[in-house]
Amino acid sequence: MNSTAPASGRGAAPAAPTRRSSERLRRIVKNRYLYIMILPGALFFLLFKYVPMWGLVISFQNYQPYLGISGSDWVGLQHFERLFAEPTFWMIFRNTLVLFALNLVFFFPVPILLALMLNEVRQLMFKRIVQTIVYIPHFMSWVIIVSISFVMLTLDGGIVNELLVFFGLEKINFLLSNSWFRPMYIAQVIWREAGWGTIVYLAAIAAVDPQLYEAARMDGAGRTRQVWHVTLPAIRSVIVLLLILKIGDVLELGFEHVYLLLNAMNREVAEIFDTYVYTAGLKNGQFSYSTAVGFFKSFVGLIMIMVANWLAKTFGEEGIY
């Protein structure tokens, strides 16, 4: 009996991994439609986000297109040293941080406030009309948004300057002014994206338990106190999550919008990393150098996400990982 017991034990050992594998397979088959829904998004990130990361190696090379990655010479950190030694580096870094700060302070709270106000609307038809109106600008390209702003703000027949003249004031050259570039930029961002940003917050508010509002009303809380003590705490985790993701884009403001507003007169306050990469990489053909700039942007974004996530967890929030 003693000789057969170990043999039976050795034979039964693989049963647990086999059972776990079969259970995992059953779960995959059961949720197959969910995996099919995830597949397009997974393929998008795989093909357009992860596979291109292989190209980051050219930031350490003197890349020549006709030689390819394997045939180009390695130069180490030369391009990064050049970036930090550039006279315009701190100007670009400052401009990018200032525009990001304006986004964080003035734009980020707007979708939250707009979602809270839309949630208080009781006339369903009016609420849907307002939602449609504030969503529409998101589906316009930046070319259209900037063109509309140009028509409104131009010195030659722009409605804003015509109104200034009508009230006895002098015309303002908004499009070529350093002082007006940043207000114009953030106003366009709010106009285009604020409505679309409310979707996530409205979905989070819709998931709040109605019994919490009923309990607050029984305690004598008005609509303002219900928003402050029920709605905002209920969607706090969503706000923190989106804030962390926003902070990760600290140096990623987007190329198209700023490039359309950029000109020789406002370059000192409008040039950012995205437009700088376009000029260095595509216009001047400095592929390795522009890749090094993009690498630097991504590295800073990663560090900021990690710091923001750590701070969120320190204050008792869940974070993103």
Q: What is the pLDDT of residue 15?
A: 60
pLDDT of res. 281:
83
Residue range 220-232: average pLDDT? 88
Tens digits of per-residue pLDDT, 69-124? 888 889 989 999 999 998 889 999 999 999 999 999 999 999 999 999 998 888 88
| Radius of gyration of the chain measured on its C-alpha atoms | 27
Scan for tokens 């010195």, then name that residue. Answer: 155
On the question of pLDDT at 22 being above 60, the answer is yes
Q: In CATH, what class is 86-314?
A: mainly alpha
Contact 62/73 with Cβ under 8 angstroms? yes
Q: What pLDDT score was predicted for residue 313?
A: 86
CB 245 within 8 A of CB 320: yes
Helix pair 124-135, 178-206: axis angle to 10 deg: 140
Take residue 27 and report the two structure tokens written for it. Answer: 């779960």
What is the share, in percent, of the chain residues with pLDDT greater than 90? 47
Q: Look at residues 2, 253, 230 and name the one whose alpha carbon lies nearest to residue 103.
A: 253
- In the predicted structure, residue 125 carries a pLDDT above the cut 80: yes
Q: Where are the domains of the chain?
A: 86-314
Is 36 a residue whose pLDDT tops 80?
yes
pLDDT tens readout for residues 174-201? 988 899 999 999 999 999 999 999 999 9
pLDDT at 4 over 80: no
Average pLDDT for the chain: 88
pLDDT band of residue 268 (cuts 50, 70, 90) is very high
